[in-house]
Chains A and B, each alone.
Chain A
Amino acid sequence: MSEPTLLRVREVTTTFDTPTGPLTAVDAVSFDLAAHESLGVVGESGSGKTVLSRTIMGLQPRRGVSVTGSVLLNGTEVVGASEQAKRELWGRQVAMVFQDPMTSLNPVVKVGKQIDEVLRVRLGMDRSAARARAIELLEMVGIPAAATRYSAYPHSLSGGMRQRVVIAIALAGSPQLLLADEPTTGLDVTIQAQILNLLDEVQGRLGMSTILVTHDLGVVATRTRRLVVMYAGRVVETGTTRDVFARHRMPYTRALLESSPKVSNPSHTRLAAIPGRPPNLLDLPAGCAFAPRCAYATERCHHERPVLEPADETGHLFACFNPLPLRAASPS
């Protein structure tokens, strides 16, 4: 990796206080992200992806959450930083594209105003410069008649248009790191590809690093260089996207791959569902969290927790006592 490290995440653990006891949503997650690099974080619902992305940003609720470990963003420690210190980072260094554009835009504020707030408050632009720049950003994210749309309220825009506005807000402060948390989940399938392509395009154009959080491996296959696969708040496999797809060792990764539709399959191919349910984070098994659903689980898996081990020298890691043999792991 020739690029300098932009984000260094070490042993990050996020725990929520719940009435039934502490709930660890993210458990000792570590990874690095270089400048201009793109990383995919994949896993089922409840695997801790969203909490992880908010923890990286330091955007978790103020109360009832405790975070340990370290998140170094461009040399600044996010974990334990004051709200004021984090505000300096937000918008300028790191920005987020939220999951559901139906709820993430303020319904009573014109979309243009929601964009130029960043420009005026954070970049200190005057009213007219901010307006001009906001219209430019609207054009950049592919909104037609941007000058007119500047004065539109969110309710008069379609879901895809709203998500473009959310992206424009995130880009307004020219952040170095863009976190996209399931950015297409709330959108029509036909719009999803457009939004993902837009994210790709702006990443390339603006030279940002991106973290793309998704449950859909199809989304990250061609768009990210590296992948982190999460299960029950833990990283179970990580490596280059190519390696994780072609040479995965962890049965959960395979199960995820097999459960996402592929164009190469004949039509009406039945998708393989992962049996069972994601574990209850309040009551995790003592050993591997995936063991109860795993076809390869042995006695050891139920009692002892596997740690991440290198699969080779390229940084490909997996946490499994009974890794899949390499030959069997390659699809097709």
Chain B
Amino acid sequence: MARYLARRVVTLVGIVIVISVGAFYLIHLLPGDPATVILGTGDSPQNRARLYAQLGLNRPVIEQYFVWIRNVLRGNLGTSFISQVPVWTTIRAALPIDLEMIVLSQILSFAVAIPLAMSSAKRPDSWLDRFLGAFSFTMLSIPAFILVVVLVLVVAIKLAIPHTGVSSYVPLTQDWVANLESMALPSVVLAIGSVTVYYRVLRSDLIATLQQEYITLARSKGISQRRILWRHALRPSSVALLGTAGVNIGGLLAGGFIVQYLLDIPGLGYTLVNSIGLSDYLVVQGIVLVVSVGVIVINFVFDFLITLVDPRIARE
């Protein structure tokens, strides 16, 4: 077990390094120029050159990378060219919003997907199973930005539930009830995407598991079907589910940006998109790094959960 986990850690550290290099180069390939953002379009080339030298952007990209990564390793993500706010301060303000959105949406997703997958798997091809299959496929093919618009229209405008519309974000520290209201809509939108995926993955694994001989043996003990599903079938069926959830949650960490952007929620995704527009290199690099470490940590946690769920996996 320890060796298995150690090997995973080594792989994951390697991935972080590769991502940090890749992110750095990609940003410098993007059109846009911080000098234009700071000085405007009409300034003289001399001023631009001076600003470049001041920001260290005149040096070769590879050298810039090493300067940046050396600072990162010392715990310094730098300060935004544009806003003059330390990058870490910006991230620390935005990250909890993403985490809250993810936690809420995932609790909701599992709470809905697991019972639905079970009721489908109990009777494959029943009308319920067919309905859920068609419904989940429909939901899967509706993009998040459409869902957001529809939900805002229904929930915020027609039903007029407070704190659910655009620009209604309330920080958790200010008023937790209002905060939950303002997070409900984005969490539901993210959850709908997750539920459809989790439902489909778990349903097919459950159907396969329920045909196993050990399920027949469990039946022959005279225990209830509910107990068979929860105690005997769910665990061996959830390896693929956990793997999928790890990847999916990682994607949500920054992938919620469309939802955040549309609803004006100042999370990481929102900040990232704004910073790219401003060519705010250090903020972009900082967020990409934090997100990639986050994705890796989440995957690591889920890999570990898988070994807990199926004791055969850690054995090699």
Contact = CB atoms under 8 A, between A and B. Distances in A.
Contacts, number: 80
A35 to B, nearest CB: 21
B312 to A, nearest CB: 5
A122 interface: yes
B218 interface: yes
B54 interface: no
B315 interface: yes
B312 A117 contact: no
Interface string A75-117: 0000000010011111110011011100111111100000001
A153 B220 contact: no
B222 A91 contact: yes
Contact of A166 (B217, B235, B315): B217
A57 interface: yes
Contacts of B217: 96, 98, 104-106, 166, 169
B3 interface: no
A9 to B, nearest CB: 18
Contacts of A262: none
Interface in B207-263: 212-214, 216-225, 227, 231-232, 235-236
A90 B219 contact: yes
Interface in A122-163: 122, 153, 155
B218 A106 contact: yes
B219 A88 contact: no
Nearest to A89: B222
Contact of A106 (B222, B224, B232, B309): B232
Nearest to B216: A59
A87 B223 contact: yes
Contact of A107 (B214, B220, B221, B225): B214
- For the side of the interface on A, what is the size category? 20 to 34
B60 interface: no
A100 B213 contact: yes
A121 interface: yes
Nearest to A87: B222
A118 B214 contact: no
A173 interface: yes
Contacts of A122: 221-223
Contact of A104 (B213, B222, B224, B310): B213
Contacts of A88: 222
Contacts of A155: 311-312, 315
Q: Give the 7 A-B residue pairs with the shortest CB-CB distance, closest first.
A: A90-B222, A91-B222, A103-B213, A87-B222, A106-B214, A104-B213, A91-B221
Interface of A: 57, 59, 83, 86-92, 95-96, 98-100, 103-109, 117-118, 121-122, 153, 155, 166, 169, 173
Given A103-B212, A103-B213, A121-B222, 7 more contacts: A59-B220, A95-B221, A98-B216, A104-B217, A106-B232, A108-B235, A117-B218
21 contacts: A57-B220, A88-B222, A89-B222, A91-B221, A95-B220, A95-B221, A96-B217, A98-B213, A103-B213, A105-B214, A106-B217, A106-B232, A106-B236, A108-B312, A109-B231, A117-B221, A117-B223, A118-B221, A121-B227, A153-B312, A169-B217
